[in-house]
Amino acid sequence: MPPAEGGPLRGSSAVTVVGGGVLGLTCALELARAGHRVQVLSADPVQDTTSAVAAALWFPYRAAPVDAVLRWGAASLAVFTELSADPSSGVVLRPGTVVHRTPEPDLWWAAGIPGLRPATADELPPGAPAGTRCTLPVVEMGRYLPWLLAACSAAGVDVAAARVTRLVDLPGDVVVVAAGLASGVLLGDDTCVPVQGQVVRLADPGLEDWLLDEDNPAGLTYVVPRGTDVIVGGTAVEGANGAEPDPRVEAAVLERACALVPALRDAPVLSRAVGLRPGRPTVRLDRTVVDGRPVVACYGHGGAGVTLSWGCAADVAALVSSP
């Protein structure tokens, strides 16, 4: 189980968390485990959030600043690694390859990743000049988000459906804003931008390894097998906020993915989805005072909200508990 369980009780405030995606729920769980009384208000059911669309490979994609991202990512990696021992969590550790298409790739994300090594020629997909092999958590969100909800419920968190329009109306001693892309509206922050991503879910033809090819000249490509299905992506269109899958985009994504992983060629399509990553120049995680009450902000995680979730939730719990 995650390390926060059983930790010392640091206080008991009434905390209202706005947002029931991966960040809001993980923050709520950490806060409840720290001894707070927590209510989550979420405009959407968890299966309709951006979090439910995530691939979700542990990888700090499109998130900044680097130092904090590395720290949050490392903390989350440790928790996901522990959770992989519990099959009900939907977390598994899988080997895979990050493709490199430049002579001196920047492995800024790789500090602390166990088992990292250059890929051998026979481990590289067709046409890929180089790559790094490593084993990372793959988080099956269709199983993980219900696990997280159940863990929140067991810790005494109350999760309710509600769309918040004004923070001043909320109950609680402290408010946590973890509403993804909508957080900026609630806090008067106009630096948030959607980064649209489209994925297609295929039947798994028996793949063992994930693949990430960020610099593919034809476009971002990733293949994340999960046992019965494979998430294939993707796109990252800054400023686009359409939520409907585009068949032409899907055809192009599949073409790229099948070129790299030919075993996908005849795999049946199971479903398709579009999600809006909560883009921001940097993740916002701080404590301010709004209408005379402490407000902790936790949003703007771009393409790495799952990857950073446990590290950020620990910081949120510390900020809520601080005097």
Binding site for ligand FAD (CB under 6 A): 18-24, 41-44, 49-51, 53-57, 59, 163-164, 178-182, 197, 199, 233-234, 275, 277-278, 299, 301-307
How far apart (Å, rounded) are the C-alpha atoms in residues 86 and 253? 33
User: Please, how many CA atoms are within 13 Å of residue 315, restricted to the half-sphere of its CB?
Assistant: 22
Give the residue with the Cβ less far from ligand FAD, 256 or 277: 277
What is the nearest approach in angstroms of ligand FAD to the Cβ of residue 89? 15
Measured CA to CA in angstroms, residue 237 lies from 97, 195, 277 at distances of 24, 5, 10
CB of 66 to ligand FAD, least distance (A): 16
Report the distance separating Cα 81 and Cα 256, nearest Å: 30
Q: Let me know: does 257 contact 264? Beta carbons within 8 Å.
A: yes
Nearer to ligand FAD, 294 or 302 (CB): 302
CB closer to ligand FAD out of 9 and 218? 218
Please, what is the minimum distance in Å from the beta carbon of residue 65 to ligand FAD?
A: 16
Query: Which residues sit opposite 40 in a β-bridge?
Result: 17, 159
Q: What backbone phi and psi angles, to 5 degrees, belong to 136?
A: -135, 160
Closer of 10 and 81 to ligand FAD (Cβ)? 81
CA 184 – CA 288 distance, rounded (Å): 14
Closest distance of CB 121 from ligand FAD, Å: 27
Of 90 and 121, CB closest to ligand FAD: 90
Identify which of residues 163 and 266 has a Cβ nearer to ligand FAD in the complex.
163
The alpha carbon of 215 is separated from its chain's Cα centroid by a whole number of angstroms, namely 20
Closer to ligand FAD at the Cβ: 42 or 216? 42
Number of helices (H), then strands (E), belonging to the chain: the values are 6, 15
Omega cis (within 30) before 245: no
Burial of 295 (0-12, 13-18, 19+ CB in 10 A): buried
CB 315 → ligand FAD: shortest distance, Å? 14
Q: How many angstroms separate the Cα of 205 from the Cα of each of 87, 110, 133? A: 21, 29, 21
Please report how close the Cβ of residue 206 comes to ligand FAD at its closest, in angstroms. 21
Minimum separation from the CB atom of position 195 to ligand FAD (A):
8
